[in-house]
Amino acid sequence: MNSPSSQLPVITPEKPLPDVITPGKQPPQTTPPENATFTIRLVVKRRKRKVVVYRGQEILATYPIAVGKPGWETPLGNFRVFNMEKDPIFKSFKTGKMIPPGPENPLGNRWIGIWTDGKTQLGFHGTNQEYLIGKAVSHGCIRMRNRDVMALYELVTIGTHVTVEP
């Protein structure tokens, strides 16, 4: 019999692949189709360390974030949500260790994926180090306080448009 945690997908968002995120080089963008009409959209403002949630032109919410550190900058461009997970399992790219959902999991309690090359994923996620919110510390992902990523998770759906600005 499988336990609930053995049925959860494994998220490995921060693998060190130099051809994916390197200074001055951006990964391929994923954009919604031209006829897409998603009412909610996200705008990440890297320098201001915040994500703004819009419905049309109306601002619904603004959340503080942490972004990619030098050499691992969160990529600029247009993306869309392609994957969402509650209580993700993290696989360390350094040690290969699997970290189940809980207080030691660096992904916190939610994962909202916005980019992948089939091996690596980037996205919004919670954190077990909320004191780092507002800093450039990740390997390209967008870290949020757990309560904030839980609220964001309820606002977005697969296909939600995400723009990452400088």
Q: Please say if 139 is a catalytic residue.
A: no
13 neighbors 125 (Cβ within 8 angstroms): yes
Q: Which residue has the tokens 């030098």?
A: 70
Contacts of 111 (CB under 8 A, 6+ apart): 11, 13, 83, 84, 85, 88, 123, 124, 125
Q: Which of 80, 110, 125, 143 is catalytic?
A: 125
Question: Which one from 112, 114, 141, 162 is the annotated catalytic residue?
Answer: 141
* 79's tokens: 């993306």
Burial class (CB in 10 A: 0-12, 13-18, 19+), 93: middle
Is 43 among the catalytic positions? no
Catalytic residue numbers read 125, 141
